Amino acid sequence: MVIKIASHVERCYSNEEGKIIQNLIKSNLEKNVSLTLSFEGVSGVTSSFVNTAFIELLDNYNFDFIKANIKFIHTTKQINKMIKERYAFEVKKRNELVIA
Partner 1 sequence: MEVLIPSNFNRFTMYDLLSSVIDNDLNPKDTVISFNFTKLKFIEPAGVTILSNLFEWLHKRGVSSRIIYPENCSGKKNPIQFLDDSNFFMRYAGKNLTRNPNPRPTTIPLKLVAYSDGPRWLEREFSFWLSNQLNIPLTSLATIRICFGEIFNNIRDHAQENIGCIFAQHYPGSNEIKITISDFGVGIPENIRRVRPSLQDDEAVMIATTEGFTSQTSPRNLGAGLHTLIENVVKNNNGSVHIHSNYGILNCTKGIVSNEVEKFASLKGSFYPGTLIETILKTDSIQNITDIEEEFEW
* Contacting positions for partner 1 (CB under 8 A): 11, 13-15, 18-19, 43-48, 51-52, 55-56, 67, 71-80, 82-84, 86, 89-90, 93
Write down the least CB distance from residue 87 to partner 1, Å: 8
Write down the least CB distance from residue 31 to partner 1, Å: 22
In terms of C-beta density within 10 A (0-12 exposed, 13-18 middle, 19 or more buried), how is residue 32 classed?
exposed
H-helix or E-strand containing 3? strand 2-4
Look up residue 8 and give its DSSP letter: T
CA–CA separation, 48 and 15 (whole Å): 5
Write down the least CB distance from residue 33 to partner 1, Å: 19
Q: Which residue type, as a one-letter code, is found at position 33?
A: V
28/74 with CB nearer partner 1: 74
16/33 with CB nearer partner 1: 16
